[in-house]
Amino acid sequence: MNIIIYVKTGCPWCKDVLDYLNKKKIKFEERNVLTNEEFFKEMLQKSGQTKTPTLDIDGHILADSDVDQVSAYLEKLKV
């Protein structure tokens, strides 16, 4: 499974999702959209919006997400 999480520095929802993924020992790639314009453009192109956290899980986009949405989706995948 390939997970990319687009985050913004200081975003409390981003921190919650990052903490959740780390606690579950789920590997992911973190991309900060405030410090890298290419990551911002990539997130916008994939999701059509500018809010974080946004996750790309094997091509499935969870835009402007939270821990509940992420955990529900991963449970469906049996992760």
What is the tens place of the pLDDT at every residue in 3-26? 999 999 999 999 999 999 999 999
Indicate whether 79 pLDDT > 90: no
| C-alpha to C-alpha distance for 13 and 23, rounded to whole angstroms | 15
> Which domains are assigned to the chain?
3-76 (3.40.30.10)
pTM for this predicted structure = 0.95
For residue 42, is pLDDT > 90? yes
b (16+ CB within 10 A) / e for 42-72: bbeebbeeeebbbbbbeeebbbebeeeebee
Q: Confidence band (pLDDT; 50, 70, 90) for 2?
A: very high
Q: What is the pLDDT of residue 13?
A: 97
How many angstroms separate the CA atoms of 7 and 40, rounded?
9
